[in-house]
């Protein structure tokens, strides 16, 4: 499917009468990760935890800063307020729609705009470096551990199952119900969400480094890997997920 402006290609749009007020913009419509990736013009982007992500490589800090200035000068981008991380190596951008607390058609539109500016500035996307890391802490439902971890990390709780850095810099914490912990697993493990087209390379690298596949029964949503001491990590993708979530606690 195709959503957003590109889906209007070939359509004749009648001009508004002179002096008429323009129609208000259509409200964003929530979409699934699959629908985002099916849209045209979003090849630079990958859905991970908390939204759609892209990284655009730059040759210098100044070049990266010019790109950030250019995308934030676009009204549609500025109104959407994407998370932008400026580094010497390039610029990371994350999109999510606060109005629907999920991905939406507006994220597709903004992704296309950002990618177009990247091309104008000669920046290329590098999906191989995209990932989101979170820590999973397992405890029985009767054990209220969230206040402790909220206090010690200085995090906020945007929903019943997660704690997040209010500035969205550090890895999130997943409060995992005890009954979901598999056999021979510790009560804490790491989740690493990677692009769906990069997960096999990441698994192969882990196996070559001495790891093993401990459980692949939930693949392709996630694979559980373990090191020589049985420390576990779940490599996850958006496959099998109907939505992503808003990482923030602030209101829309």
Q: Report pLDDT for 182.
A: 55
What average pLDDT does this structure show over 71-100?
Answer: 97
Give the residue carrying structure tokens 């597709």.
108
Higher pLDDT, 100 or 20: 100
Q: Report pLDDT for 1.
A: 36
Rounded CA separation 208/78 (Å): 44
Task: Collapse the DSSP code of 190 into the 3-class scheme (helix H, G, I; strand E, B; otherwise coil) and give the result.
Answer: strand
What average pLDDT does this structure show over 228-248?
Answer: 83
Bridge partner list, 86: 91
Bridge partner list, 84: 93
Global confidence as pTM? 0.83
Q: Which of 130, 215, 226, 229 is nearest to 180 (CA)?
A: 215
**Range name among 133-142, 151-160, 174-183 with the lowest pLDDT average:** 174-183
Going from N- to C-terminal start, the domains of the chain cover 26-129, 132-236
CATH code 3.10.180.10 for 132-236:
yes
Rounded CA separation 174/182 (Å): 16
pLDDT at 76 over 80: yes
What average pLDDT does this structure show over 116-135?
Answer: 98
**Range name among 1-10, 85-94, 179-188 with the lowest pLDDT average:** 1-10
What average pLDDT does this structure show over 214-241?
Answer: 92
Choosing among 1.10.3470.10, 3.30.1360.20, 3.40.50.1820, 2.40.50.140, the CATH entry for 26-129 is 3.30.1360.20
What average pLDDT does this structure show over 110-117?
Answer: 99
Task: Collapse the DSSP code of 71 into the 3-class scheme (helix H, G, I; strand E, B; otherwise coil) and give the result.
Answer: helix
Q: Which of 119, 136, 108, 116 is nearest to 51 (CA)?
A: 108
């Amino acid at each position: 499917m195709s959503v957003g402006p590109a889906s209007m290609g070939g359509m004749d749009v009648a001009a508004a009468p002179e002096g008429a007020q323009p129609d208000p913009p259509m409200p964003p419509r929530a979409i699934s990760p699959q629908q985002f990736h099916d849209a045209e013009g979003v090849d630079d982007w990958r859905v991970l935890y908390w939204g759609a992500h892209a990284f655009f490589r730059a040759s210098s800090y100044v070049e990266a800063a010019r790109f950030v200035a250019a995308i934030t000068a676009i009204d549609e981008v500025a109104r959407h307020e994407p998370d932008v991380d400026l580094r010497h190596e390039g610029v990371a951008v994350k999109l999510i729609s606060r109005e629907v607390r999920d991905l939406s058609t507006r994220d597709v539109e903004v992704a296309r705009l950002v990618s177009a500016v990247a091309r104008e500035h000669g920046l290329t996307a590098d999906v191989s470096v995209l990932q989101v890391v979170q820590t999973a802490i397992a405890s029985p439902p009767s054990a209220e551990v969230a206040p402790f971890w909220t206090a010690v990390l200085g995090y906020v709780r945007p929903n019943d199952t997660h704690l997040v850095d209010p500035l969205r810099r550090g890895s999130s914490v997943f409060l995992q119900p005890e009954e979901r912990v598999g056999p021979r697993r510790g009560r804490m493990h790491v989740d690493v969400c990677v692009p769906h087209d990069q997960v096999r390379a990441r698994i192969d690298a882990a196996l070559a480094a001495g790891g093993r596949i401990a459980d692949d029964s939930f693949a392709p949503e996630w694979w559980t890997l373990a090191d020589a001491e049985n420390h576990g990590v779940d490599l996850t993708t958006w496959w099998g997920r109907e939505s992503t979530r808003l990482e923030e606690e602030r209101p829309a």
